[in-house]
C-alpha cells in the first residue's frame, strides 16, 4: 500500500497551513519582539538612490571594514564593539551623537515598519536581557557591524538563518531618508 504523505501537493498544503498558523499566532500576544521580521526583511522594494547623508554613512562605515573588535571599543585605532562602531560612524559621518549602549540606541530615531533603507540601524536580540547587537543596514539585504565572533568589522547577509532568527527591528535616525 502506497503512502500519500510524500505527495508534493499534500506537503505544500501542510507547509502553507503551518506557515499561516505561525504567522497568525504571532499576533496572539506574548512578549514584544519588535516588528515582524518576515515583513521587514523583504528587500524587493528597496529604492536605489541614496541621499548625501546615507552616502556619507556608508562611506565611513565601509572605510572601517577590517577594524578590530574590542569590547567597549569606540574608535578604529583600539577597536570597536557593535554599539561603539555604530555611534562612531553616525558621529563621524553626519554629526549625530548616539547613546553609547545598544539598549539606549534602540530608543533613538523612529521605528522602521515597512522597508529598510541604507543607513538604518538594525538591532538583534542575541541572549538574555542585555544581549543586544547592532549594525548599519547598507542595502541589498546586507548590514555592516563589529561582531565579536569574527573579530573585525565586516558585512553580513540579513537573510542568513542566524540573523533572521535574532532580528529585533530597525530604527531610522536620519530625517531625510
Of 5, 20, 27, 145, the active-site residue reads 145
Of 5, 20, 27, 82, the active-site residue reads 82
133 among known catalytic residues: yes
Three-class DSSP labels, the chain: CCCCCCCHHHHHHHHHHHHHHHHHHCCCCCCCCCCCHHHHCCCCCCCCCCCHHHHHHHHHHHHCCCCEECCCCEECCCEECHHHHHHHHHHHHHCCCCCCCHHHHCCCCEECCCCCCCCCEEEEEEECCCEEEEEEEEECCEEEECCCCCCECEEEECCCHHHHHHEEEEEECCCCC
5 among known catalytic residues: no
20 among known catalytic residues: no
CA–CA gap between residue 60 and residue 169 (Å, rounded): 23
Of 5, 20, 27, 133, the active-site residue reads 133
The catalytic residue positions are 82, 133, 145
Amino acid at each position: 500500500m502506497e503512502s500519500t504523505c510524500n505527495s508534493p501537493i499534500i506537503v505544500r498544503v501542510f507547509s502553507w497551513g503551518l506557515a499561516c498558523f505561525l504567522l497568525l499566532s504571532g499576533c496572539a500576544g506574548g512578549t514584544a519582539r519588535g516588528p515582524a521580521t518576515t515583513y521587514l526583511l523583504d528587500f524587493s522594494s528597496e529604492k536605489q538612490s541614496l541621499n548625501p547623508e546615507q552616502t556619507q554613512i556608508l562611506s565611513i562605515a565601509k572605510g572601517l571594514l577590517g577594524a578590530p573588535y574590542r569590547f567597549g571599543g569606540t574608535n578604529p585605532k583600539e577597536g570597536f564593539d557593535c554599539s561603539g562602531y555604530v555611534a562612531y560612524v553616525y558621529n563621524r559621518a553626519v554629526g549625530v551623537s548616539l547613546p553609547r549602549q545598544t539598549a539606549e540606541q534602540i530608543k533613538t530615531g523612529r521605528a522602521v515598519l515597512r522597508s529598510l533603507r541604507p543607513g538604518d540601524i538594525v538591532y538583534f536580540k542575541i541572549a538574555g536581557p542585555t544581549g543586544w547587537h547592532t549594525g548599519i543596514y547598507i542595502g541589498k539585504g546586507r548590514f555592516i557591524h563589529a561582531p565579536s565572533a569574527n573579530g573585525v568589522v565586516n558585512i553580513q547577509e540579513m537573510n542568513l538563518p542566524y540573523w533572521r532568527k535574532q532580528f529585533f527591528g530597525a530604527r531610522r535616525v536620519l530625517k531625510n531618508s
